[in-house]
């Protein structure tokens, strides 16, 4: 298409604008629902290159293509409108609870610039003499690539997160706050962005036997529980445990379905507390966790998962610190 089509006079401008945004948004909704159907999980996955990278290409390209056809290749339709489509899609998905707020925050740094680049590339193709944009190819791009992507085994990587805090209390008092954690009141938890993004807050931890082999139940909000088995128990020095998160026992309302702990893409494997006595009244407490990622973009996902774990571990350490120091007064 060498020249943009003449605007039709049958529809007012506001109707054209609504149509331009409605078409890619409806397309995005259909793709989102299709990629989340269990019956097609063998071919389509939301945590995939096809959905994360190719869908914003289609959203941005469609928006610019329609904008040029109905109006012109202006700055708005080439650079702003593609990102605006993505923003509208994010807002609608949050309002309808189709996506968790955390997922939107993670996806936005990819979706927005990719949609922008797609709008610019679409405009460049249309402007080139004797060049036409293949609309079916643009629309079918994620659907065509995803089945091939599903044939590749996702890389499995483990990441370790270590957090440390100094506590003005003897190691014996710190130890008492680790093995078993009584119910945590909401005002005991420090502000963390992860909880503002609606991630479940820690509630308590109970242990049935204070020794190796003991079973520890860590509870979080919205009936989320993690089953832990003690693998190392050294009084006032160290406590280590494996972590089992069975997706069948975690409510689907607690996490977004495609980032559920213990699921296909993410899992927490083990944890370890280590007490370092600095002085009789000063203790350094280390909390380490290991988690597994299985995505096509583990580097990017790993940065976010580390940020989440640091927020969660940091809040738990603050609770232990405040309780141990309170007991020492």
Model confidence pLDDT, tens digit, residues 27-45? 999 999 999 887 887 888 8
Which of 175, 180, 280, 303 has its CA nearest to residue 236?
175
Q: Which domains does the chain have, with CATH numbers?
A: 13-149 (no CATH), 157-327 (3.30.530.20)
Sign, CA torsion 118/123/129/135: positive
Backbone angles phi, psi at 214, to 5 degrees: -65, 150
Quick one: residue 111, left, alpha or beta (phi over 0 = left, psi -120 to 50 = alpha)?
alpha
pLDDT tens, the chain, 329 aa long: 444 544 445 668 989 999 999 999 999 999 999 998 878 878 888 889 999 999 999 999 999 999 999 999 999 999 999 999 999 999 999 999 888 888 899 999 999 999 999 999 999 988 885 566 677 788 999 999 998 988 887 788 999 999 999 999 999 999 999 988 999 998 999 989 999 888 889 999 999 989 999 999 999 888 888 889 999 999 999 999 998 875 555 555 555 555 666 667 888 889 999 999 999 999 999 999 999 998 899 999 999 999 999 999 999 999 999 999 986 66
The answer to whether 60 touches 86, Cβ cutoff 8 Å, is yes
3-state secondary structure (DSSP) of residue 198: coil
Q: Dihedrals φ, ψ of 102, to 5°? A: -60, -40
What gap in Å lies between CA 126 and CA 172, rounded to an integer?
71
Of 293, 291, 240, nearest to 268 by C-alpha is: 291
SS (H, E, C) 217-260: EEEECCCEEEEEEEEEEECCCEEEEEEECCHHHCCCCCCCCCCC
pLDDT score for 246: 59
pLDDT value of position 87: 98
Residue 224's pLDDT is what? 82
* Dihedral over Cα of 55, 142, 19, 72: its sign: positive
Phi, psi for residue 304 in degrees, rounded to 5:
-70, -40
Question: Which residues have CB under 8 Å from 78's CB, separation 6+?
Answer: 64, 67, 68, 119, 120, 122, 123
Do 322 and 168 contact (CB within 8 A), yes or no?
no
- Nearest-CA neighbor of 58 among 8, 152, 133? 133
Instruction: Measure the CA angle with vertex 268, ends 262 and 274; round to 5°.
Output: 155
pLDDT confidence of residue 247: 58
Return all residues near 203 (Cβ < 8 A) that are at least 6 apart. 183, 184, 219, 220, 221
Residue-level pLDDT at 280? 93
Q: Is 299 exposed, middle or buried (0-12, 13-18, 19+ CB in 10 A)?
A: exposed
CB 234 within 8 A of CB 216: no
Task: Give the other-Cβ count within 10 Å of 301's Cβ.
Answer: 21
In this prediction, residue 99 carries a pLDDT of: 87
Whether 328 and 168 have beta carbons less than 8 Å apart is answered as yes
C-alpha to C-alpha distance for 204 and 216, rounded to whole angstroms: 10
Computed from CA positions of residues 106, 139, 33, 244, in that sequence, does the dihedral angle turn out positive or negative?
negative
How do residues 254-300 score in pLDDT, each as one tens digit?
A: 555 556 666 678 888 899 999 999 999 999 999 999 999 988 999 99
* pLDDT of res. 258: 59
* Cβ atoms 126, 73 nearer than 8 A: yes
Residues pairing with 279 in the sheet: 282
């Amino acid at each position: 298409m060498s020249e943009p089509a003449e605007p039709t006079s049958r529809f007012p401008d506001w109707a054209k604008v609504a149509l331009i945004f409605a078409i890619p948004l409806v397309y995005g909704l259909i793709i989102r629902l299709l990629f989340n159907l269990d019956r097609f999980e063998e071919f389509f996955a939301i945590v995939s290159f096809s959905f994360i990278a190719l869908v914003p290409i289609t959203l941005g390209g469609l928006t610019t293509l329609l904008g040029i056809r109905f109006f012109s290749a202006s700055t708005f339709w080439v650079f702003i409108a593609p990102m605006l489509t993505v923003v509208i899609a994010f807002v609608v998905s949050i309002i309808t609870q189709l996506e968790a707020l955390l997922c939107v925050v993670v996806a936005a740094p990819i979706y927005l610039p990719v949609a922008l680049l797609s709008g610019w590339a679409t405009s460049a193709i249309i402007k080139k003499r004797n060049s036409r944009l293949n609309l079916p190819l643009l629309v079918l791009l994620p659907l065509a690539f995803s089945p091939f992507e599903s044939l590749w085994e996702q890389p499995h990587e483990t990441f370790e997160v270590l957090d440390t805090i100094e506590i003005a209390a003897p190691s014996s008092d710190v130890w008492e706050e680790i093995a078993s954690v009584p119910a945590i009141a909401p005002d005991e938890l420090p502000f963390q962005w992860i909880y503002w993004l609606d991630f479940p807050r820690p509630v308590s931890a109970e242990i049935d036997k204070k020794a190796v082999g003991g079973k520890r139940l860590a509870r979080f909000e919205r009936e989320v529980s993690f089953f832990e088995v003690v693998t190392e128990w050294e009084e006032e020095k160290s406590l280590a445990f494996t972590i089992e998160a069975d997706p069948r026992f975690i409510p689907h309302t607690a996490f977004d379905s495609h980032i559920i702990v213990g699921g296909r893409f993410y899992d927490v494997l083990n944890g370890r507390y280590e007490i370092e006595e600095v002085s009789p009244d000063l203790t350094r407490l280390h909390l380490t966790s290991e988690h597994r990622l299985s995505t096509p973009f583990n580097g990017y996902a790993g940065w976010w998962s580390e940020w989440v774990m640091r927020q969660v571990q940091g809040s738990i350490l603050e609770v232990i610190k405040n309780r141990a120091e309170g007991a020492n007064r």
